[in-house]
Amino acid sequence: MFATELGSVSGESAKIYLRPETAQGIFVNFLNVQKSGRMKIPFGIAQIGKAFRNEIVARQFIFRMREFEQMEMQFFVKPGEEMKWYEYWKNFRMKWHQALGFGEKNYRFHDHIKLAHYANAACDIEHEFPFGFKELEGIHSRTDFDLKQHEEFSGKKLRFFDPETNESYIPYVVETSIGLDRMFLAILSQSYKNEKLEDGSERVVLSIPPALAPYKVAVMPLVKKDGLPEKAREIIDSLKLDFNCQYDEKDSIGKRYRRQDAIGTPFSVTVDHDSLTDNKVTIRDRDTMKQERVAISDLHRIIDEKVNIENCWCDFLPRRHGEQRVTQRKNYKLQNQLHPLRDE
């Protein structure tokens, strides 16, 4: 662990650590959250945050760093029900990954044979990185080890009182823990493609799932004059509250398209002279490279349909617009329907 000193006093008593995992911040707040949020078991506490480990061998780009970010969720359950929830979260987390559409063959479970002293079941979700299948996420059934330990060291009771059975107990914990930097690398390496085009030229494209792309749309005037830049900025103003937009007027249109491909922008919109009179623009799709002439007033809907985060989970979480959206999203179709927690 990384250690430093608190305040100006040096010596062993002032030694303080940079957390090596975010999980403990959740365990020590278990009762605070349960009481203030009136939570009933089963319930979960989630957190995204930095953690630090003084790795001896840190390497493979952002895969293993000494400073890294975790996305963790600790799910508190009744003792004896942990295996049911372990299976639920295994299943749910795998679907969360596969919903991004990179293909099921890039993910696999790796069950731990040798368990850590606190676990009674554990597995990794492994992803095929450029350097092979490696751990991306862990799902662990941690029993009551952590809360029990904190009870012992703090002298405070960390128990849940079940009003239905009138008994209190230390809950069991099922945890999902994913490395954010690893997830970032997984998306980057799956999206990065060097494509040969029909005309013999090449393009580098980042086919990032649209919902995750840094920019959703680039708006570009065909030329830097005749009022086209102003029209382009007008379009950006109408979109930028909902979508991250980029304005680009440098270089030829072809070069600008290539640049947007290289940073994974799902749509490019070109404003030409006709746009000033017919209020239509050309919209180009990053993946198909197809161009279409559409009304400026339709842009918001067209972009939203593709980049909405709903597209990622259309088959495993509830939707706003019911079934009709699903039919458009064959890419994201998942094999098994998984019901949300409240149906349990």
> 103 or 340, CB closer to another protein?
340
CA gap 291, 169 in Å, rounded: 62
Q: Which residue among 312, 314, 315, 332 contacts another protein (CB under 8 A)? A: 312
Fill in the amino acid letter for 246. Answer: Q
Per-residue CA distances from 51 to 179, 181, 280 (Å): 10, 11, 49
CB contact at 8 A, 59 and 52: no
β-strand pairing of 245-247 with 267-271:
unpaired
* Nearest distance, CB of residue 266 and another protein, angstroms: 12
Least Å distance, CB 112 to another protein, is: 16
Q: Which 3 state secondary structure label does DSSP give 54?
A: coil
Position among 5, 10, 46, 295 found at the interface with another protein (CB under 8 A): 46
Q: Which is nearer to another protein, 23 or 281 (CB)?
A: 23
Binding test (CB under 8 A) with another protein, winner from 39, 83, 236, 302: 39
Binding footprint of another protein, residue count (CB under 8 A): 87
Enumerate the β-bridge partners of residue 110: 124
d(Cα 33, Cα 27) in Å, to the nearest integer?
10
- Per CB under 8 A, contacts with another protein among 220-259 are 244
Q: Under rule CB under 8 A, which residues in 259-298 are in contact with another protein?
A: 262-263
Rounded least distance, CB 27 to another protein, Å:
8
- Residue closer to another protein by CB (options 99, 228) is 99
Does the N-terminal peptide bond of residue 210 adopt cis geometry, omega within 30 degrees of 0? no
Map the footprint of another protein across residues 139-158, applying CB under 8 A: 146, 149-150, 152-154
SS3 25: helix
Token pair for residue 192? 């990065």
- Pair of tokens at residue 79: 């003792």
Establish if 28 lies at the interface with another protein (CB under 8 A).
Answer: yes
x-marked contacts with another protein along 47-86 as a string, rule CB under 8 A: xxxxxx--xx-xxxxx-xxxx-x-x-x-x-----------
Q: Contact with another protein (CB under 8 A): which of 103, 201, 318, 339?
A: 318
Binding mask 192-211 for another protein (x = CB under 8 A): x-x---------x-x-x--x
Q: How far is the CB of 74 from another protein (least distance, A)?
A: 10
By CB under 8 A, name the one of 31, 78, 126, 189 that touches another protein.
189
Whether 140 contacts 23, CB under 8 Å: no
Question: Applying CB under 8 A, which of residues 317, 326, 334, 338 lies at the interface with another protein?
Answer: 317
CA pair distance 339, 88, nearest whole angstrom: 10
Please state the closest distance from residue 306 (CB atom) to another protein, in A. Answer: 14
Binding status of residue 103 toward another protein by CB under 8 A: no
Among 24, 91, 120, 308, indicate the residue that binds another protein (CB under 8 A).
24
CB of 167 to another protein, least distance (A): 20
d(CA 107, CA 105): 6
- Beta carbon nearer to another protein, 179 or 228: 179
Give me the amino acid identity at 109: F
Cβ atoms of 51 and 20 within 8 Å: the answer is yes
Cβ 45 vs Cβ 27: under 8 Å: no
Query: Minimal CA–CA distance to 167: which of 78, 80, 44, 38?
Result: 78
At 116, give phi and psi (nearest 5°). -65, 160
Residue 277 or 322: which CB sits closer to another protein? 322
Q: Does position 180 bind another protein by CB under 8 A?
A: yes
